[in-house]
Amino acid sequence: MRSAIIQGVLLFIVCYALLSIYQTTIFNLEERGIKTSTSFFDSVAPFKVGFSPFLDYELGKTTYIEIFYIGVLNTILVAVLGIVAATILGFAIGIMRSSSNWLASKFSLVYVEIFRNMPLLLQIMFWNFAIFLAFLPPPKQSLEFGVFYLNGRGLQTPLPIIENSNNFNIWLVTIFFSFIGVYFFRRWAKKRFFETGKTLPVFSLSLVFIILFTTLMFYALGGPLTIELPVLGKFNFKGGAQLPLPLFSLWFSLTIYTSAFIAENVRAGIASVSKGQIEAARSIGLSRSQMVRMVIIPQALRVIIPPTISQYLNLTKNSSLAMAVGYEEVVAVWANISLNQTGQALIIIAMTIIFFECCSLFTSFVLNIYNRRIQLSER
Amino acid sequence: MASNTIKFEKLPDRLPPSNTVGWMAWVKTNLFGSISNTLITLLVFYLIFLYIPPFIEWAFINANFSGSDRSVCDENKAGACWTFVKVRFDQLLFGLYFATNPDQMWRPIIAFIGFFGLLIPLMIDKTPHKKWLLITLLTIFPVFFLLIVRGGVFGIPDSDPSQWGGLLLTFTLAFVGIILALPLGILLALGRRSKMPVVKSFSIIYIEFWRGTPLITILFMASVMLPLFFPSGVEFDKVVRAMIGITLFQSAYTAEAVRGGLQAIDKGQSEASMALGMGYWQQTIFIILPQALKISIPSIVNTFIALFKDTSLVSIIGLLDLLKIAQNSSRSLDWNGYDIEAYMFAGIVFWIFCFGMSMYSQRLEKKLDTDRRE
């Protein structure tokens, strides 16, 4: 009875507070001449968006809602690029941290402690304003990294171009089926191992199969995809794609910052595998690579993966700091510029928050699935 | 009488093989243990020799420390321009108001001394009466801070919070965030473990809502929407708005840290206190929380480190914190072009505090770990 009253009162207070805040906000907005409605979605956005690789942008034609989509896609682009790079770098640094080489281990310790103890915003501004903008050469004298060129305008990268979209889709489907084939092959190999004890080099066989099969199909379908390399023209690059400097700086700093946290997760994961496991693996005669593959990695990954997934979410949220360098992601073009232009604070902030909440919910969803799978395989 | 007893004497221990002791052995196993190890060592050495000496030359040997304007640095471009940091030091630390009123500088200095005078003894193990120090820091110190830095009473000139800046503002925001977020976070953590469905779901929604949103969006919301939430006439200062945003954000993270501590407390504790006839609040305040908070100190410190770094985001909504002042100074006409020095100084200041706190929390974690094993 007592708890029912407490809950009832709490429910009433919270609902009343939210409702009155909502009404006051609507009233205040109307007093400033802004009628809260979604009708501004279809009106033309009067400002320029420089970077929109996935949706066509045209000044004087693109509407506000399209600006929102551009912002979301740009956020996702930098998040994906950052996640891939931070994972590779973070694992490399984390493995180095656990290496028996003293120098390598201390080097990665210094790396981790330097980069995770400074504000990300400071790092973004440092790399962008103090280093890249100040020191990167003009396009003519670009720094060359294989097929990548870095200059004061950004990073020139090769661009895959789909020549024949029909055949390309068929190719994607065949790749998908090759993975399914590998999945069944592995199941069969595992079953055979449990029944007869005979092993097969499953991993390398699968890899060879996938590579051979996809290459074969690629040529059988007449090469539906070509890769366009950037070529230096008279003043600027022709062909390929360009990651503008703000995107490059943001990606670079996010990668370095997040990799320090991932490296720490990796180190903790490797350290969490108890010494007894390694001794037991040796005593039953596993080779070194078998031990790493079958004993250390599976147990370490259990500790590494959950916090690393949270780091991916943090990276996505941190990409909103792009504002400082002028990359056009969702907070910059939507929660800042569009908000200032239209004054539709309520809807715009709500949509921005909902986008990030979706990312967050998706992350917890993935984490929950992963945790459940781990629990099932525990005895 | 001839002695026919044989005396057994222990021979001295033989020395370990010479290749397993001493620095030579250490170098051999830790740096050149195998071929790949040797390659890694050589590569890292190469990188160190490639980058460290030029950096030291730039940062120390060729650096400019003297003078009071940019002419010194413009003549000697080979080294860092620490003159710039020296000239702008007051601004970077205390913000524009106190830098332009040097006779008022004692106020933030005393505030800083008071803050560290309370904080540092708290971090040392053997300090007596820690509880009272902590309570002073969390209750009396903020009032003292407000009196002395804000002024306006006892003949101390008034300083407008919108004029605060630099490290002073960074500290103020982070400290206010943690003080206000702590009680809120404890309530939320208790709410999340409550048996009442309404309380529980409100707490979960609140915590996950703030944790899912980037701080910059929350700061935007605080600076743009907060005035809209209240009837006209209610005005907030920009700094206060940022404080509100930071507190709401931080309380969700504190709640999760405290929840971790609450989960670690054995159920027997609450059962025993129930058997003694304690009610919910008695139980929570006297039995559960003291134990849970102790366990959760390391994670609370970790969330505080994150908050301390994140306060730099207020520069995006136009507050002049340490980072913003560093940036503005390096863009001012007097010192245009010395970006690296500006960011590096701000970075080092942030780094010292964050690294110090993370060392402290790691040490605490280790200590708590052994406490439990005993």
Write down the pLDDT at residue B140.
82
Q: Establish if B337 belongs to a structural domain.
A: yes
Write down the pLDDT at residue B307.
92
Across the A/B interface, how many CB contacts are shorter than 8 Å?
154
Contact B212 A126 (CB under 8 A): no
Best of B31, B200, B309, B324 to mutate (most A CBs within 10 Å, chain A): B309
Q: Establish if B129 belongs to a structural domain.
A: no
All residues of chain B having their beta carbon less than 8 Å from the beta carbon of residue A29 are 228
Write down the pLDDT at residue A124.
93
Q: For residue A135, is pLDDT > 60?
A: yes
Nearest-by-Cβ selection for A323 from B199, B216, B350: B216
Q: Establish if B8 belongs to a structural domain.
A: no
Averaged pLDDT score across all residues of chain A: 86
- Pair (B242, B349) in one structural domain: yes
Where chain B has pLDDT below 70, the residues are: 1-3, 152, 155, 369-374
- Pair (B87, B70) in one structural domain: no
Superfamily (CATH H level) for A64-158+244-377 = MetI-like (1.10.3720.10)
Contact A113 B217 (CB under 8 A): no
Distance of alpha carbon A228 from the chain centroid: 24
Q: Establish if B122 belongs to a structural domain.
A: no
Write down the pLDDT at residue B351.
94
Pairing of the two strands A231-232 and A237-238: antiparallel
Q: What are phi and psi of B21, to 5 degrees?
A: -125, 165
Write down the pLDDT at residue A160.
82
| pLDDT tens track for A172-229 | 888 888 889 889 988 888 888 888 877 777 788 888 888 888 888 888 877 777 787 8
| pLDDT tens track for B79-107 | 777 877 777 887 888 887 777 777 777 88
Q: Establish if B308 belongs to a structural domain.
A: yes
Q: For residue A54, is pLDDT > 70?
A: yes
- Pair (B238, B204) in one structural domain: yes
Q: Where in chain A are the domains?
A: 2-32, 64-158+244-377, 159-228
- Pair (B190, B41) in one structural domain: no
How far apart are the C-alpha atoms of B247 and B257, rounded to whole Å? 15
Considering only CA atoms, which of A140, A161, A137, A136 is closest in space to residue A233? A140
Q: Establish if B133 belongs to a structural domain.
A: no
* DSSP codes of every residue in A219-277: HHTT--EEEEPPEE-SSSEESSEEEEHHHHHHHHHHHHHHHHHHHHHHHHHHHHS-HHH
Contact A320 B202 (CB under 8 A): no
Portion of chain B with pLDDT greater than 90, in percent: 16
Contact A117 B212 (CB under 8 A): no
| pLDDT tens track for A218-277 | 888 777 777 878 777 776 777 778 888 999 999 999 999 999 999 999 999 998 888 899
Write down the pLDDT at residue B354.
92
Domain extent, residue B59, equals 30-75
Write down the pLDDT at residue B132.
82
pLDDT: is A167 or A311 the higher one?
Answer: A311
How far apart are the C-alpha atoms of A136 and A125, rounded to whole Å? 15
Nearest-by-Cβ selection for B198 from A7, A25, A104: A7
How far apart are the C-alpha atoms of A313 and A358, rounded to whole Å? 11
Nearest-by-Cβ selection for B216 from A131, A320, A359: A320
Residue B357: which CATH number? 1.10.3720.10
Burial tier of A195 (Cβ tally within 10 Å: 0-12, 13-18, 19+)? exposed
Strands (E), chain A: 143-145, 148-151, 154-157, 159-162, 225-228, 231-232, 237-238, 241-244
Mean pLDDT of A14-36: 84
Write down the pLDDT at residue B155.
66
Q: Establish if B313 belongs to a structural domain.
A: yes
- Residue B197: partners with Cβ closer than 8 Å, 6 or more residues away: A7
- Pair (B190, B331) in one structural domain: yes
The β-bridge partners of B189 are none
Number of helices followed by number of strands (H, E) in chain B: 18, 0
pLDDT: is B4 or A354 the higher one?
Answer: A354
Chain B residue with CA closest to A113: the answer is B355
All residues of chain B having their beta carbon less than 8 Å from the beta carbon of residue A353 are 209, 212-213, 217, 221
The domain tally of chain B equals 2
b vs e for B131-162, b when ≥16 Cβ sit within 10 Å of the residue's Cβ? eebeeebeeebeeebbebbebeeeeeeebebe
- Domain boundary, last residue among B39, B59, B75: B75
Nearest-by-Cβ selection for A360 from B212, B347, B358: B212
- Residue A336: partners with Cβ closer than 8 Å, 6 or more residues away: A323, B220
Complex prediction ipTM:
0.87
Write down the pLDDT at residue B370.
62
Q: Chain A: nearest CA to B155, how far in angstroms?
A: 38
- Pair (B189, B338) in one structural domain: yes
* DSSP codes of every residue in B79-134: S-BHHHHHHTHHHHHHHHHHHH-GGGTHHHHHHHHHHHHHHHHHHSTT-S-HHHHH
Write down the pLDDT at residue B295.
85
Mean pLDDT of A120-148: 86
Write down the pLDDT at residue B373.
44
Nearest-by-Cβ selection for B309 from A104, A119, A339: A119
Is the Cβ of A291 closer than 8 Å to some Cβ of chain B? no
Q: Establish if B6 belongs to a structural domain.
A: no
